[in-house]
Structures are given as C-alpha cells and as structure tokens.
Structure 1
Amino acid sequence: MGSLFEELEAREAAARVRVEELEAELAELSGRLDLAREGLERLRIARETVAEVLAEMTPEMSATAVDDDLPTAGESVASAYAGV
C-alpha cells in the first residue's frame, strides 16, 4: 500500500504546482485588466469632457473648431496609443 500513498502524494504535489502556476497567471492577468480598465476610464472621461466643452461653445465656434482640428484627406494622424 505504500506505493498507493506515494502516488497520491505525487499527484497532490503536481496539483499544487499547477495551482501555483495558475495563481501567478491570474495575478498577471488581473494587473493587465486593471491597466485596461484605467485606460477605458480615461477615454470615457476625455469623451465626456470634450462633449461638455463643445456643448458650452457657441454653434459657430464648435463647428469651426471641430472642422479645423480634423485632418485633411491623406494627412497622417499621430496617436499616443499607436503601437500599443
């Protein structure tokens, strides 16, 4: 019967290692998820702020300002998030 208990101990040790690996993976994914949530929240706040500013501007100013800031056809657009 000694070999049965040895086999169970070996399986328990392997299961323990697998649990530790999954816990480490979970910690990494949780960190990445937190960063993604923070980025999403920043974008939501930026969108709301832009909407508020545009709503406070006169109709003539907001149309001109938006049109002036839009890139023309063929103009390249730089992004802070490029390559992320």
Structure 2
Amino acid sequence: METTHSTVPGSGVLHDCQTRDGQQFRILVAHPGRREIFVYDSAEPDRAVARIVLEEDEADQVAELLHSQPITDRIAELERRVARLAGMER
C-alpha cells in the first residue's frame, strides 16, 4: 500500500492511502484524538463517496480489528522473547 501524509493547518495530519488494487482512502488524524476516514470513488478519484468519523476509542477498536494478531497475543509473544533473552525461558 502506498501512503503519504501532509499537515492540514488547524485540523491535523492527513494520510493519503492507495491499496495495491488502486482503491483510495484518506485518514484525517484530527486534534484531539478524533479520526475521519474518507473513501473515494475508484472511477472518480477526487470524489469522496463516504466519510466515517471515529472518536479516539472507536479508532482504537478498529485498529485492533485490523491487526493481524490481537494485542494480547503480541504482548504475550514479546514477554516470551524477553524471558528467553533474559535466560528465564517459559
């Protein structure tokens, strides 16, 4: 996926994303913690067809769903690695 970002003065940071298949969307990381997702028409890439507004906790939930592995599993794996490095194999 290709991504670029730019600062939108007074609003936050805008992340432009394009998937391998050419689908385009933007994520506005606004202050304080609010996120807006804009989905664009593939036939008319300058026309947004959807806008989704997420509060900080909702954005966290979506991020958790998109992770390839739940955070609890990732933390457990990191703990196992640290234990191995420290010589305290679990």
Q: Settle same-fold status: TM greater than 0.5.
A: no
- Identify the structure with the greater strand proportion: 2
* Structure-2-length-normalised TM-score: 0.25
Bigger-Rg structure (1/2): 1
* Structure-1-length-normalised TM-score: 0.27
